[in-house]
Amino acid sequence: MTEITPEAKALKPAPSFRYLRGLLNFFRQMAQYPLAFAGMLITFIFIALAIVGPQLAPYSFEQIIRGTDIGLEDRRAQTSQPPSEDFLMGTDQRGRDIFSRMLWGTRETIGLPLIATLLAVAGGTFIGLFTGYVGGWVDEVISRMLDSLLSIPALVLALVMISTIVPTLSGLDNPLVNRLGANNISLTIVIVLLYIPIVARVIRSATLNVRDSSYIEAARLHGESTLYIMFREIFPSVLPALVVEGSLRLSYAIFLVASLGFLGLGVQPPSPEWGRMVLDARPRVTEAPWELWFPALGIALLIVSVNLMSDGLRRVFRHEQER
């Protein structure tokens, strides 16, 4: 038996270096698809703005800008000012800076869907791994329950749940509800309940493809627990499908939040969610088109970027599986 010398151990790369090398290799593969790589960078920029955007905003999202705020003697509100050097994206009908509101609004526009999508992915992954591995009547019962939810159009189901959950939460005297808002919590619950069944079906299908593999059988014979086999043996095999599906769910969640905001059922004022900004600007689209076009283009750019990133992830993982 060959003995591993101290010199050979020293040459073995550290775990942190291996992870860094894997990450660099992933970015190198994504760079082979320029549109997907650009979409990924834009998505990361939006996520960063959701974290630091309020600190970068020149004004508060509710501040009414007056002439004295920009060096003028006129104290009147600067209502419906077109894009200029003083106002990069103009102002709205109340004199609020649209650029500042866009930066503040990234938290609701992408931050809320991102958190809700992560929760849905976590729940759907557990259900999919469990039903796919256990099988039998457990799989049959849970799968039929999930199918019943999937049979209802997503927007219709979201409207029904919003109309039910919001009044219930609004009637609670709870510090968490008062701080986060009943509509924000309701939107998170709706996205989680809508997307758990979809993620669960994808992960269940991927689990069925690997559960009869020899290494899974070896783990069973070795006496490993169900949770160990699910998360240590099966989970790495379904991770590529999970990443792609998670990025797709994120784009749909962003669109859903923006759609509900446009319908007046999503995040409520004074929060500057972009879908709500489009709704508020719609009656004035001919007089002040910049009030509508900037948030609408922001939503479109964000959704297209996430979809491009998802397509690139799918191609990279498919290439890795074919190697």
Question: What pLDDT is recorded for position 197?
Answer: 93
List the domains of the chain with CATH numbers. Answer: 35-322 (1.10.3720.10)
Question: What pLDDT is recorded for position 176?
Answer: 72
CA end-to-end span of the chain, whole Å? 31
Q: Is 222 helix (H, G, I), strand (E, B) or coil?
A: coil
Question: What pLDDT is recorded for position 16?
Answer: 56
Question: What pLDDT is recorded for position 141?
Answer: 92
d(CA 304, CA 85): 29
Profile the chain (323 residues) by mean pLDDT over runs of 10 residues: 48 59 84 92 94 92 88 84 90 92 92 93 94 89 88 82 81 74 86 92 91 85 86 89 91 91 84 91 90 94 94 84 65
pTM: 0.86
Sign (positive or negative) of CA dihedral 230, 231, 236, 239: positive
Question: What pLDDT is recorded for position 310?
Answer: 92
Per-residue b/e over 23-37, b at no fewer than 16 CB within 10 Å? Answer: eeeeeebbeebeebb
Question: What pLDDT is recorded for position 17?
Answer: 65
Question: What pLDDT is recorded for position 19?
Answer: 66
Q: How far is CA 234 from the centre of its chain?
A: 25
Q: How far is CA 322 from the centre of its chain?
A: 28
Q: Is 273 helix (H, G, I), strand (E, B) or coil?
A: coil
4: tokens are 């591993």
Output DSSP code: residue 85.
S
Question: What pLDDT is recorded for position 321?
Answer: 67
Q: Tell me if 112 sits within 8 A of 250, measured CB to CB.
A: no
Per-residue b/e over 229-243, b at no fewer than 16 CB within 10 Å? Answer: bbeebbbebbebbbb
Q: Is 286 left (phi over 0), alpha (psi -120 to 50) or beta?
A: alpha
Cα R_g (the chain), whole angstroms: 24
CA atoms in the 13 A half-sphere facing the CB of 58 = 15
